[in-house]
């Protein structure tokens, strides 16, 4: 085994109880014994709060900001740039992630000191997001609560689909959804095929980006060529400018119909980057932006 950093080695004594727990053969048995969870997935954390499972959380990542009360928990850093020392210091009995985590060396160090790691894949589709909620309910013994949240979620989605029908006979505005990438320190456009793209379509809009999957790093030329009627920016990128008027002064935006008309809106990343119980309300929110 490779030599561990001194800080990690010293932290080993703080988690010796974790190693003593052993490996549990049954997932539900493991969950019952994990009462100190460090979770670094904003989707998982929102779902845990929705089903009342937040009492097991002792720390989260920096991007987990909903619901507001989650901000009272300690953070262990950005989920793609973690340090083992910060996680180990929380004495976790479980490290929970959706797989979007790094660097890889951190996971190796956590395993080396005996901290169990559970990977629950994110819900990138509506069905898989609903399944993630159900699985969390089972894992944390909150089945009844998860079933209740899921039932309300499905009722809300039925209302969304009923509303969507009314946009079929109308012109769909072109929408550019801009996200600020904190790792690369640049603006990105959300492409087609993403949860945000689906929400835009449900709200009666059309994604101004033609690319499929993931995000595209945008330039002033690309913004102007996309010619969006509406621009929706996630909070980090929008707040760098402070208001819609200043945001419209960005290179390329002033050349678009959205920039000229001032139809630039703010939304939070957690509302649009994945599906969840808030999705029906988010679609209504976007629809109000597109069809005032």
Beta bridge partners of 119: 97
DSSP string for residues in 141-163: T-HHHHHHHHHHHHHHHHHHHHH
Q: Tell me the CA distances in angstroms from 283 to 129, 158, 161, 163, one per residue in order.
A: 16, 12, 10, 10
Separation CA 212–CA 265 (nearest Å):
23
Q: Into how many domains does the chain fold? A: 2
Identify the three-state secondary structure at position 1: coil
Is there a single domain that holds both residue 128 and residue 252? no
Is there a single domain that holds both residue 203 and residue 131? no
Does residue 125 form part of some domain? yes
Q: What is the pLDDT of residue 25?
A: 36
Helix axis angle, 279-290 to 143-164, nearest 10°: 20
Reading the block at residue 82, the tokens are 């973690």
Q: What is the pLDDT of residue 2?
A: 46
Last residue of a domain, one of 104, 129, 144: 144
Reading the block at residue 158, the tokens are 């039925």
Is there a single domain that holds both residue 182 and residue 278? yes
| Residue owning tokens 């039925």 | 158
pTM of this structure: 0.84
Does residue 157 form part of some domain? no
Identify the three-state secondary structure at position 151: helix
Separation CA 179–CA 186 (nearest Å):
9
Is there a single domain that holds both residue 119 and residue 236? no
Is there a single domain that holds both residue 137 and residue 219? no
> Would the CA dihedral through 237, 241, 244, 247 be positive or negative?
negative
Q: Which residues contact 224 (CB under 8 A, 6 or more apart)?
A: 252, 255, 256
Separation CA 228–CA 218 (nearest Å):
13
Query: Which residues constitute the domain of residue 245?
Result: 171-290
DSSP state of 173: P
CATH of the domain at 45: 3.40.50.1980
Is there a single domain that holds both residue 11 and residue 140? yes
Separation CA 145–CA 15 (nearest Å):
31
Is there a single domain that holds both residue 24 and residue 138? yes
Is there a single domain that holds both residue 57 and residue 93? yes
Does residue 195 form part of some domain? yes
Neighbour-count burial for 241-265, b at 16+ CB within 10 Å, e otherwise? eeebeebbebebbeebebbeeebbb
Per-residue pLDDT of the chain (292 residues; tens, 9 = 90+): 444 455 444 444 444 444 434 433 344 444 445 589 999 999 999 999 999 999 999 999 999 999 999 999 999 999 999 999 999 999 999 999 999 999 999 999 999 999 999 999 998 899 999 999 999 999 999 999 999 999 999 999 999 999 888 888 788 999 999 988 666 668 899 999 999 999 999 999 999 998 877 788 989 999 999 999 999 999 988 998 989 999 999 999 999 999 999 999 999 999 999 999 999 999 999 999 999 8
């Amino acid at each position: 085994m490779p030599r561990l950093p001194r800080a990690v080695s010293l932290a080993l004594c703080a988690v010796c109880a974790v190693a003593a727990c052993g490996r549990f053969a049954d997932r539900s048995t493991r969950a019952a014994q994990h009462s100190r969870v460090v979770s670094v997935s904003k989707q998982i954390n929102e779902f845990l709060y929705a089903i009342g499972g937040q009492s097991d959380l002792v720390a989260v990542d920096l991007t987990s900001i909903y619901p507001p009360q989650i901000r009272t928990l300690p953070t262990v850093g950005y989920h793609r740039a973690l340090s083992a020392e910060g996680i180990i210091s929380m004495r976790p009995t479980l490290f929970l992630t959706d797989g979007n985590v790094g660097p890889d060396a951190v996971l190796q160090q956590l395993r080396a000191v005996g901290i169990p790691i559970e990977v629950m894949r994110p819900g990138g589709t509506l069905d898989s997001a609903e399944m993630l909620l159900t699985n969390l309910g089972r894992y944390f013994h909150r089945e009844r609560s998860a079933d209740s949240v899921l039932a309300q979620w499905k009722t809300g989605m039925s209302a969304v689909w009923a509303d969507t029908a009314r946009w079929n006979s109308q012109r769909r505005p072109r929408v550019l959804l801009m996200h600020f990438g904190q790792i690369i320190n640049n603006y990105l456009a959300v492409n087609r095929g993403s949860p945000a793209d689906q929400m835009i379509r449900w709200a009666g809009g059309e994604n101004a980006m033609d690319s499929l999957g993931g995000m595209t790093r945008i330039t002033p030329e690309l913004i102007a060529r996309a010619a969006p009627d509406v621009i929706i920016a996630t909070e980090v990128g929008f707040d760098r400018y402070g208001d819609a008027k200043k945001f419209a002064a960005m290179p390329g935006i002033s050349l678009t119909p959205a920039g000229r008309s001032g139809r630039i809106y703010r939304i939070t990343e957690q509302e649009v980057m994945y599906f969840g119980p808030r999705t029906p309300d988010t679609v209504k929110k976007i629809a109000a932006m597109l069809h005032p």
